[in-house]
Amino acid sequence: MTNLKLSDVTKRYSDVVAVDDMNLDVEEGEFISLIGPSGCGKSTTLETISGLTKPTDGRIEIAGEDVTDAPPKDRNIAMVFQNIALFPHMTVRENMTFGLRLKHYEEAEIEDRLQQAADILQIDGMLDRMPDELSGGQRQRVAIGRAIVMDPEVFLMDEPLANLDAKLRVHMRTELQRLQQTLDVTTVYVTHDQAEAMTMSDRIAIINQGELQQFAPPLECYNEPANRFVAGFIGSPSMRFVDGEVDEGTFHAAELDLHVDVSQGSATQLPTRLTLGIRPEDVHLAANRPADAGTTPATLTVDVVQPMGDELVVYLHGTDRDVLGGDEASNGETSQLLMTTDPNANLEPGQTVDVVLDREQIHLFDPSTGEALVHGLPEQTDAAVAPGDRGESTP
């Protein structure tokens, strides 16, 4: 059942369109993340749901009720922010029950809800402490507890883990996941951290310049990105793109000396100019994959090698170009591939390597619109390329 619905929501600030015609349908109990680069409109979208900002256009429904013009207090939502705004002069107990007292709940009900939330968050031993006696993680737990006790229809969280250190973030991420499994409350979570969004969400809404790019389960966004923006945004290290032209069913990218048979795998006619996308984990040293028929070979030059411990990240470019100082920007994004490989691979800058691209993981995009055209080319076995087997007559 739809629990939260945004229909054609737009928010303009004079000439800035912060949110552009946003449509989202969030199911009851679903955890969704709004993700995108800084300034893309994530917080503004959340603010329109909370009622802190009124949309210029569009409609917002919570639990079937039109709340577009309702003030925040009438929306049955609870919010957790990046800046943990606990009242410094109140104990944890007082902080957590403040909202309930404002709404004149019975004392027994307040105590019940407090205990339940404290149990779930494992903070029952800290109820009489002051906020400055708590660690950052504990303070954030109290802030979440303050939201839980309100038993809202929808949780709204704006980068709640952003101010925690890296280790605690990962820990709190797991806690939030567990909490969601326990409470099953519809949650809208804003983050710029794609790992956070990927791991916690049922679906992620990827936004760019106020426009929704894709709203789908994390793996669908990863495996079938709707466009080049999503493809480059989801995944780390990110997908690389190569511009090229198609001639008689073969894609050529001059700078990388890359030739890919694209004659099969698309239901529709491909344009003559294409952008090919491939993730670093789908580029392999040919030596590690002998005679693999489902691949596309290329000979490339190693530009930069980055040891990450568990793998090597290798920047590659075409063999007909000089090694340029290793600065990614100077090479241009579309003239490089990235490969992640065995950490013990003995690779040096300037060296030439034979690599293969996993054909089933090649994505093709329309270079003019960025729209994805093909996700995964069919394996190219000898039989598959034999004209007779394609049902064509041999000339």
Q: Minimum Å distance from CB 206 to ligand ADP?
A: 11
The 10 Å Cβ neighbour count of residue 135 is 10
Among 391, 41, 3, residue whose Cα is nearest residue 205: 41
Q: Minimum Å distance from CB 29 to ligand ADP?
A: 25
Long-range contacts of 269-273, Cβ-Cβ distance < 8 Å, separation of 24 or more: 270/246, 270/364, 270/373, 270/374, 271/246, 271/366, 271/367, 271/368, 272/245, 272/246, 272/247, 273/243, 273/244, 273/245, 273/246, 273/367, 273/368
Q: Minimum Å distance from CB 44 to ligand ADP?
A: 3
CB–CB of 186/155 below 8 Å? yes
Which residue lies nearer to ligand ADP by CB, 41 or 244?
A: 41
CB–CB of 189/218 below 8 Å? no
As a whole number of angstroms, the distance between CA 43 and CA 53 comes to 10
Which residue lies nearer to ligand ADP by CB, 36 or 51?
A: 36
Q: Minimum Å distance from CB 344 to ligand ADP?
A: 41
As a whole number of angstroms, the distance between CA 102 and CA 153 comes to 18
Which residue lies nearer to ligand ADP by CB, 48 or 301?
A: 48
As a whole number of angstroms, the distance between CA 15 and CA 210 comes to 13
Among 306, 84, 35, residue whose Cα is nearest residue 194: 35
Q: Minimum Å distance from CB 99 to ligand ADP?
A: 25
Which residue lies nearer to ligand ADP by CB, 52 or 130?
A: 52
Q: Minimum Å distance from CB 328 to ligand ADP?
A: 24
Q: Minimum Å distance from CB 45 to ligand ADP?
A: 7
CB under 8 Å to 28, separation ≥6 — which residues?
1, 2, 3, 186
Which residue lies nearer to ligand ADP by CB, 17 or 130?
A: 17
Which residue lies nearer to ligand ADP by CB, 38 or 269?
A: 38
Which residue lies nearer to ligand ADP by CB, 62 or 206?
A: 206
The footprint of ligand ADP (CB under 6 A) covers 13, 16, 18, 36, 38-44
Which residue lies nearer to ligand ADP by CB, 71 or 307?
A: 71
If DSSP codes are grouped into helix, strand and coil, which group holds residue 207? strand
- Stated length of the chain: 395
Q: Minimum Å distance from CB 295 to ligand ADP?
A: 39
As a whole number of angstroms, the distance between CA 58 and CA 9 comes to 4
**CA dihedral sign of residues 220, 222, 228, 229:** positive
Q: H-helix or E-strand containing 9?
A: strand 2-13
